[in-house]
Structures are given as structure tokens and as C-alpha cells.
Amino acid sequence: MTDYNKCNLSINALPEWLTWLKEPLELNGVGVTTFNLPAGKGYTFMHSHEEQEEVYIILSGKGIIQLEDEALNLVAGDFVRVSPPVRRAIKADNEASMAGIIVGGVTKVGYSRYKGSSSLIDDGIPDWEDLPPWCEENEKIVEINKKLKAQREAIKTAG
């Protein structure tokens, strides 16, 4: 690992869906992900974290973030901090895409336990059966989530 790393993404034309910056920046204590969700599209399952809190920064467009049973409207300029155990998912508005950045880091509680030894970037806990409201009763999404779950389990087994 070098003392610094740099990568460049056009903020005005982020790649669609999610782009994790862990590898290009060699991150090990903070998570940074960009997102660019097409109109009407979003996460297909709720997720939480063990120790990592996240901040969702909306750069353009509008949408919603589902936090447990509450939906918050999002517009460009919004910053939303989410505590680790809170189940969450985001979705772009049906009429427009939504782009932004997600930054995650160690909470004060978790800091002493993980200080200098571990990355919390991969501490996400997907709940494949807990669908956000925009996916409920959609059998296609259920099948997609089953495939995603199997892929993730295969990666964990191989690693």
C-alpha cells in the first residue's frame, strides 16, 4: 500500500449502479462507493451493517431511502447518516435517475475493537428475504435475490 492513491470518475457521468472504490484506492478503514441508479430502479433487498455507519450523499436526481419502516425522500444536496443496525435500501425516483456517494466508516463503539486491524468495508449484512416496499410481491426480484445470495455464498466458500 502506498501513502496515497488516486482514481477519477466523472461526477456528471458516474457508471450505472454501484462502483466500489475499495480496490482502486486500496481502502482498509473506510468504504466509498458511488451509485447511479436508473429511473425507477433500486436495491432489491434491505441490508444493515455490523459496525459500519454510512452516509448517503445525493449528488443529482431524486429518490427515496427506506430506513426500516420509514421512507425518506431524497434530493440533490441531501446527506443522510445511517447507524449500522438500521436496515436500509435506496431507489431512484420513477421519473429520473439518482446519483451519489456512500461513505462508510467505523463507529466510535467499533473503533477500539477494529483499530488498525480490520476493514469494515465488507461487514454488510444483506437480508435477502426482506424486500424494500418497491420490490414486494415481485417474484422476479425474489429469484434475482436467490441468485445473488448463492453467488455471495460461493465467494465466501471459495475465499
Distance in angstroms (rounded) separating the CA atoms of residues 132 and 88: 8
Please report whether residue 94 resides in a domain.
yes
Q: Across all residues in the chain, what is the average pLDDT?
A: 84
Please report whether residue 5 resides in a domain.
no
Mean pLDDT to the nearest integer, 132-155: 85
Task: Enter the C-alpha cell of residue 99.
Answer: 446519483
Please report whether residue 133 resides in a domain.
yes
Please report whether residue 3 resides in a domain.
no
Please report whether residue 44 resides in a domain.
yes
Digit-coded pLDDT (tens) for 61-106: 999 999 999 999 999 999 999 999 999 999 999 999 999 999 988 7
**CATH code (residue 20):** 2.60.120.10
Digit-coded pLDDT (tens) for 22-44: 888 887 778 888 999 999 999 98
Place of cell 433500486: 42
Please report whether residue 2 resides in a domain.
no
Report for 67-71, 113-117, 118-122, 150-154: range of highest mean pLDDT: 67-71
Answer yes or no: is pLDDT of 113 > 70.
no
Please report whether residue 62 resides in a domain.
yes
Task: Enter the C-alpha cell of residue 116.
Answer: 488498525
Answer yes or no: is pLDDT of 107 > 70.
no
- Domain assignment of residue 113, given as a range: 11-158
Domain count, the chain: 1
Please report whether residue 1 resides in a domain.
no
